Structure 1
Amino acid sequence: MTIKSTLTFLALLFIVVSCKTEPKKAEATSKMEEVMAVHDEVMPKMSTISKLVAQLKPMADSTETGKEYMSAMKDLQASHKSMMDWMQGFGARFDSDEILNGKELTAEKKKWLLEEEIKVNQLKEDINGSIARAEDLLSED
């Protein structure tokens, strides 16, 4: 083999290897971006939850109507706690380079990311649902 053919072979090998590994990294990065996009969508709603809890609190008591307000308030508080717990758990599983910079994930962390995607989507439903229920209840007044 000549030096030219050896270099050509190595260049082609590098291109093939790069093409095969890049989609996996891009796929994991893309999934991380999707998970973080859901988080970023619902995180600002934490202030809405706090405001709604403050509005419901004075109306929550042991009467039938008061129990509805209490239930709505507890749903909001549970949603808020779920967000805080999810962020803590997510942060324990992934480092900032993986979250923010697209650092390559291990096979185990790729599985974890799929689990976290399910959790954050459920969290989004819970947050949006608890907010909608509270707002509906408050609009009846």
Structure 2
Amino acid sequence: MKSLRFILLAFLFGNSLSNYAQEPSRMQEVVDIHDEIMPKMSNLVKLINQLQPKVDSTKTGQKHQQAIKALKASNKSMMTWMQGFGERFTADEMMKGKALNEEKKIWLDEEYKKVKALRKEINSSIKKAEQLLEQ
């Protein structure tokens, strides 16, 4: 009975370790989100350029101005986030999986929350601008 229990525990432990090894690291998740939204930055500029001629004193023109403001804020948020992230982590930590100390693990959780909010902000500003241009 003891050997059966031991085998079962060993199996469960080994299984959980293999699942853990297959999960992406938190750093990889942050980098993946960055890599997902970075190509959208050129789209922000394109949308601003498309909206700019439509800005005037009308209600619709002011909506275009608000959309431009949101797109510019999204761009600034991305630049600010990247600068802050780069100041907190080395290239080896970001790209090569170098181990993080306890403080940096806490920072990484903070950065994960920030980059998820950033993704939401960028996607939202793009969606609103595209909807305005479709009208």
TM over 0.5: yes
Give the aligned length.
Answer: 118
Residues 1:122 and 2:107 aligned together: no
Residues 1:137 and 2:110 aligned together: no
Q: Distance in 1 between matches of 2:50 and 2:86?
A: 32
> 1:58-86 CA distances to partner (integer Å, 9 max, x unpaired)?
11122211100000010001001100000
2:97 aligns with 102
% identity of equivalent residues: 54
**Structure 1 residue ranges without an equivalent (≥5):** 1-21
Letter in 2 for 1:57: Q
Aligned Cα root-mean-square deviation (Å): 2.1
Letter in 2 for 1:59: K
Q: Please report the TM-score for the alignment, with normalisation by the length of structure 1.
A: 0.79
1:18 aligns with none
Task: Say which of 52, 57, 73 aligns to 2:52.
Answer: 57
Dislocated runs of 4+, deviation >6 Å: none
Q: Distance in 2 between matches of 1:138 and 1:63?
A: 15
Q: Which has the larger radius of gyration?
A: 1
Q: Distance in 1 between matches of 2:134 and 2:43?
A: 15
**Structure 2 residue ranges without an equivalent (≥5):** 1-16
Q: Please report the TM-score for the alignment, with normalisation by the length of structure 2.
A: 0.82
> 1:7-55 CA distances to partner (integer Å, 9 max, x unpaired)?
xxxxxxxxxxxxxxx99xx79x711000000000000000010100000
